[in-house]
Amino acid sequence: MRIEDFRKVIERREYVEKISSGEWAEGIEECQKKEVEILSEDVNSTIVFLKEECTADEYSWISEVIDILVEKTQSRELIECYKKLMTKFPEEYDTYKIAECVEFAEAALSEGGDNG
């Protein structure tokens, strides 16, 4: 996984959020697509990233795209790893309603089959 590229996309996503005052803005979808692209390139290295390097902030931003990511990769291991981070980042879990994001991701997994 290209961690530095991912972190640059997150920085850009945070900037777009800030200048748009929380409203949907041009650039958000572009950032989300780049996040999914980077996170899906090598699922195994993404899992390692989640387990070892992912910050609370990054975890919360991934929640925006976890369903798209799981739909694309069809990786059960990826969603299980992401779910385990709920206990590591309980504040983000509550604040960003990550349980709902995980439900959507699990639905995307079951709809597309299970290749992971």
Query: Does a structural domain hold residue 13?
Result: yes
> pLDDT tier at 22 (50, 70, 90 boundaries)?
low
Distance separating alpha carbons of residues 51 and 88, to the nearest angstrom: 10
Query: Does a structural domain hold residue 116?
Result: no
36-59 pLDDT, tens per residue? 999 999 999 999 999 999 999 999
How many beta carbons lie within 10 A of that of residue 69, not counting itself?
A: 25
Query: Does a structural domain hold residue 79?
Result: yes
57-95 pLDDT, tens per residue? 999 999 999 999 999 999 999 999 999 999 999 999 999
Query: Does a structural domain hold residue 63?
Result: yes
Query: Does a structural domain hold residue 12?
Result: yes
Query: Does a structural domain hold residue 83?
Result: yes
pTM passes above 0.85: yes
Which residues constitute the domain of residue 17?
3-111
| Cβ atoms 10, 35 nearer than 8 A | yes
| Cβ atoms 83, 103 nearer than 8 A | no
Residue 27 DSSP class? T
- Identify the pLDDT of residue 91: 95
**Total domain count, the chain:** 1
Integer CA distances (angstroms), 70 to 25, 41, 64, 80, 99, in order: 24, 12, 12, 11, 15
